[in-house]
Structure 1
């Protein structure tokens, strides 16, 4: 019972596997939370253990990579019973658990972060984000043009979608704009931009894993989850020891996260502002204005650790299983498209690395953050940071994904009319 498969004691893991087989055999998969949790955790941590043991890939974040990609393929093959997929899919869509997970990680990590690192990191992150975007645009355009895709097609249907911030907040508004200007339906446009988005996300996950591998060989290039070198704690260890982690502190920090999240949701409904950015802003304000007591700091640290330990892999597994069509991934592997997508992401990561050296941030950690600008929104951020084992960088990743994505969408919609209309 003291040997775990992920977070599940080994005998319980075996029992859950047998129970899932039994429920599938009799054709009765109850659509209740306990069943969904069992499916998500057993599936996620089984694949995670496989990824940790595969030759070569285990050194570049293999667990996160396998959990991000393989469930989509297994679902395509029909490995998962239809009732099982439906139960998990309905829960994932209706519960908005991905949003709540991101709230716990963002608010937990920011409230637990020292103020000096927070201020300096956010002030400097925009420089490597800009250099990464410029390099990605340059490499992607050159590649697409040389491979016969055409400069304009490459810009609007490969490079811009990769940097648009995912599907819901990137591809959807992008394709709505394209359909109003170009002679195509939104469905046609969406079918063209989805494969580059997914392949770009997979490329960024692999790139982040490679960066983590380099970090182990060159520890002077990384802050192991911190952007700013030489950060100083603004709270003494004795103050933290006074408030040992307790259920009360953990629950209190969780309620702060829910408060910040709901403020973001309300602001989005009233003003249309991105909810994660509003939530991020509130958490930052609380930290900068000394609104976080030592006990809440301790609880927030526990909340963050609980989220990444218990929820990260199950959410990645579920997103891949029910929200990532394998056909779209395969479509993106046409040679010209694949090379262009990969080089776009390479440019993003390389440009972010160079920009970090310029503003004196840890280059590997900064490059991982900039790589999330190539991801599929919140789920992409999760996969990329998990691959690099840098989940504490989620607040900065949200800046790259949300703000960087919104700017990309706006600029692409401004340019598409004059260039293609």
Structure 2
């Protein structure tokens, strides 16, 4: 992902520009002759060949690079456009979907980031920030409900319908953990059609997801102008510093990275064990495996039982992953979004209501976040925008645009635990407001 200009000349993805372009050209030729393999090696080659030039262009477009999200957002939207215009052979688009969903590289990417980011935090900061996080999430939900309802009144939509059909799907933690189970709850409680509810919910959620990504980039720019409103982009808690000199000076070995990888997949397995077997629901709401994983890693970090060598190995693995593979994820996420469907659904009413919901989530989470001791911008991005997007893939797009990938653990709490809270609220709301 790194592009630099030094005495050796322009470099793309840490390569001399001519070397990188030659590799990209070879991959394009193989793709359009349809001799590129559809296994992991071939698909990663194609995804990087798409991502590297788009990312470079996005970082160089004036205004776009500062206020819309730069290279990562152009990679996301550009890939979606390439798919929409059939410029990528269908077999490779399908293989990207298999790579992201069936092989589930997206989840692997997320769990690496979670483990490395949590284990690198000071334990006192970690505990204090997680303790105030649920109130910040609820502040975002309340803010989204208030502003969304105000926008609905302009179009003659009553607040109850705004909450049920707009706010709940947007703030529900994405598609699989939010819109789909919400549609089933809607059908079970009201006797209505789950398909009709879902069809509308996914449209609103997709629109809000785009606004959330752009808002992440704008909040990052605001943080550069108002540095007192944000921290080091790695923690939420205000006025908290800790000495990292020992960590910086520690020489990480290949064995440490391997140990960090093993801890990562073991923690993920623990989360899946809890969510699928031991305690799949709490108060009737399903708890996602990543939510359990986050809590498990937090406990490990807070108790100090993980040796420094493993912590530093997990952090180094996270650094490699975010530096080199984030643009690959943006290609996969972009290929999955139907740009044509999004444009068709972008009516003035839907767009304005969705925008107000996203702004409400920003304001509510920022205000409550500040009251519990968080930086308002970082609280707005994680507890607000990462509730108002499309779950795991949306979290990565928002954090990428906001240049805050180290806050992935908080973002995932929004999508997973926050999404569970919305399902519980939805169960009551459908009963009393329909």
CA distance in 2 between partners of 1:264 and 1:3 (Å): 44
Cα pair distance change 1:368/1:184, threshold 3 Å = same
Whether contact under 8 Å (2:189, 2:427) holds in the other structure is: no
TM-score normalised by structure 1 residue count = 0.94
User: SS at 2:386's partner residue?
Assistant: helix
1:114 shift after superposition? 0.9
Whether contact under 8 Å (1:116, 1:231) holds in the other structure is: no
1:332 shift after superposition? 3.5
1:8 shift after superposition? 5.2
CA distance in 2 between partners of 1:75 and 1:25 (Å): 14
Greater Cα shift, 351-360 or 76-85: 351-360
Whether contact under 8 Å (2:238, 2:375) holds in the other structure is: yes
Q: Deviations over 1:215-264 (max 9, x none)?
A: 1111121102121123243x7634763x4022111111111111101111
Equivalent residues in 2 for 1:292-311, closer than 5 Å: 292-311=306-325
Cα pair distance change 1:18/1:103, threshold 3 Å = same
The aligned length equals 417
Q: Deviations over 1:169-204 (max 9, x none)?
A: 101101112233446533322211111111111111
Whether contact under 8 Å (1:6, 1:49) holds in the other structure is: no
User: SS at 2:157's partner residue?
Assistant: coil
Match of 2:51 among 44, 49, 57: 44
1:149 shift after superposition? 3.4
1:68 shift after superposition? 2.5
Matched, 1:383 2:406: no
Matched, 1:82 2:95: no
Equivalent residues in 2 for 1:308-387, closer than 5 Å: 308-321=322-335, 323-370=336-383, 371-387=385-401
1:121 shift after superposition? 0.8
Matched, 1:258 2:265: yes
Whether contact under 8 Å (2:31, 2:46) holds in the other structure is: no
Match of 2:275 among 243, 268, 272: 268
1:413 shift after superposition? 2.5
User: SS at 1:78's partner residue?
Assistant: coil
User: SS at 1:311's partner residue?
Assistant: helix
Match of 1:166 among 158, 168, 174: 174
Cα pair distance change 1:159/1:293, threshold 3 Å = same
1:20 shift after superposition? 2.5
Cα pair distance change 1:405/1:125, threshold 3 Å = same
Q: Which residue of 2 aligns with 1:185?
A: 193
Q: Deviations over 1:350-398 (max 9, x none)?
A: 1122122222221111111122111111111111111110111111112
- Which consecutive unaligned segments of at least 5 residues does structure 1 have? none
Cα pair distance change 1:180/1:107, threshold 3 Å = same
Equivalent residues in 2 for 1:137-286, closer than 5 Å: 137-182=145-190, 184-225=192-233, 226-233=235-242, 237-238=245-246, 241=249, 243-270=250-277, 271-272=279-280, 273-286=287-300
Cα pair distance change 1:292/1:418, threshold 3 Å = same
Matched, 1:400 2:414: yes
1:21 shift after superposition? 2.8
User: SS at 2:211's partner residue?
Assistant: helix
Greater Cα shift, 271-280 or 210-219: 271-280
CA distance in 1 between partners of 2:40 and 2:137 (Å): 39
Q: Deviations over 1:133-154 (max 9, x none)?
A: 1111000011112213343332
The two structures, once aligned, show a CA RMSD in angstroms of 1.9
Greater Cα shift, 98-107 or 265-274: 265-274
Cα pair distance change 1:69/1:213, threshold 3 Å = same
Greater Cα shift, 24-33 or 367-376: 24-33
Match of 2:129 among 121, 138, 157: 121
Whether contact under 8 Å (1:112, 1:297) holds in the other structure is: yes
CA distance in 2 between partners of 1:408 and 1:9 (Å): 49
CA distance in 2 between partners of 1:75 and 1:346 (Å): 30
Cα pair distance change 1:375/1:8, threshold 3 Å = farther
1:6 shift after superposition? 3.3
- Which consecutive unaligned segments of at least 5 residues does structure 2 have? 1-7, 281-286
CA distance in 2 between partners of 1:25 and 1:349 (Å): 43
User: SS at 2:156's partner residue?
Assistant: coil
Cα pair distance change 1:145/1:365, threshold 3 Å = same
User: SS at 1:175's partner residue?
Assistant: helix
Matched, 1:96 2:104: yes
1:67 shift after superposition? 2.2
Greater Cα shift, 222-231 or 11-20: 11-20
Cα pair distance change 1:336/1:164, threshold 3 Å = same
1:309 shift after superposition? 1.0
